[in-house]
């Protein structure tokens, strides 16, 4: 498995470092770097380097690492410190099984709370630029649109407990989403499935929306299985 020991110190300008002063902001930034594989599985994240890079105290750096460990993104290893958790495809497959149930609840609650302007926003996100990013080979942008859509639906659900559970799963599956998205046919199928889901939600058809959620997640698991076999 490829690893990189590059410390969390050199891919942000100094001005950006000074801005990221809250624990939550640092957690989100490190999370995004893990998802984008700027920090590869097995990479060390030394507490001292983290504190220096973001301009925070060692105590706050420890808090950041503790939060990342709680979210399943890093683990503490004796004599090594904190390292980025390797991607376990079997665990990811199981996470997607749980995600399906949470997605169904999130969609149903969002349908109850969404306003006309919310539907318009979601339609714009899944409009022509959604396909264009794929044609342009912008997989990062394509996956980011999916994540924005998912987080927005979760936000519309208006249930903080549900949001926390879903966010934990999303954080642990974002790397896999990017890897699987490049498999032939996956992204094209996803475009159709997400649009069908949104259409069902806008119609207020809870049963159809639930079927769309199952189809979307079943398809994702099938592609995860293909990715495992490809490896």
Give backbone dihedrals phi and psi of 190, rounded to 5 degrees, phi first.
-65, -40
**Nearest alpha-carbon partner for 4 in 83, 89, 88:** 83
Whether pLDDT at 154 is above 90: yes
Higher-confidence residue of 139 and 87: namely 139
- Would you say the C-alpha torsion 140, 146, 147, 152 has a positive or negative sign? positive
Average predicted confidence (pLDDT) for the chain: 87
d(CA 94, CA 225): 11
With a cut of 70, say whether residue 39 has pLDDT above it.
yes
Q: Which domains are present in the chain?
A: 23-84 (1.10.10.10), 89-227 (1.20.120.530)
The C-alpha atoms of residue 174 and residue 51 are separated, in whole angstroms, by 25
**In this predicted structure, what is the pLDDT of residue 230?**
55
Q: Rounded mean pLDDT of 77-88?
A: 86
Closest CA to 146 of 186, 194, 198, 110: 194
| Confidence (pLDDT) at 121 | 96
pLDDT of the residue at 132? 93
**What does the DSSP 8-state code read for residue 183?**
S
How far is residue 196's CA from residue 214's CA, in Å, rounded to a whole number? 12
Q: Which residue has the higher pLDDT, 185 or 126?
A: 126
The backbone torsions φ and ψ at residue 46, rounded to the nearest 5 degrees and listed phi first, read: -65, 135
* pLDDT higher than threshold 90 for residue 194: yes
The overall longest dimension of the chain from CA atoms, in Å, is 56
Structure confidence by residue, pLDDT tens digits, 5-19: 444 444 444 444 445
Residue 4 has pLDDT above 50, yes or no: no
Mean pLDDT for 160-181 is 87
Q: Which residue has the higher pLDDT, 67 or 15?
A: 67
pTM for this prediction: 0.77
From 181, 231, 227, 222, select the one nearest 96 (Cα to Cα).
222
């Amino acid at each position: 498995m490829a690893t990189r020991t590059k410390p969390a110190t050199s891919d942000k300008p100094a001005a950006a470092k000074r801005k990221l002063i809250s624990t939550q902001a640092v957690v989100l930034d490190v999370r995004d770097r893990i998802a984008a594989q700027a920090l590869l599985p097995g990479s060390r994240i030394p507490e001292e380097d983290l504190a220096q890079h973001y301009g925070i105290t060692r105590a706050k750096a420890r808090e950041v690492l503790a939060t990342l460990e709680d979210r399943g993104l890093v683990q503490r290893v004796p004599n090594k410190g904190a390292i980025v958790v390797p991607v376990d495809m079997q665990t990811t497959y199981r996470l997607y099984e749980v995600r399906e149930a949470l997605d169904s609840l999130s969609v149903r609650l969002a349908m109850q709370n969404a306003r006309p302007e919310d539907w318009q926003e979601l339609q714009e996100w899944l409009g022509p630029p959604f396909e264009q990013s794929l044609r342009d080979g912008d997989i990062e942008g394509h996956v980011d649109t999916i994540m924005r859509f998912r987080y927005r639906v979760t936000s519309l659900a208006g249930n903080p407990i549900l949001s926390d559970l879903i966010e934990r799963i999303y954080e642990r599956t974002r790397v896999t989403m990017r890897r699987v998205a490049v498999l032939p046919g996956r992204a094209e199928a996803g475009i159709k499935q997400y649009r069908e889901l949104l259409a069902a939600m806008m119609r207020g058809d809870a049963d159809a929306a639930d079927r769309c959620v199952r189809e979307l997640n079943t398809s994702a698991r099938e592609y995860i299985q293909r990715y495992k076999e490809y490896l």
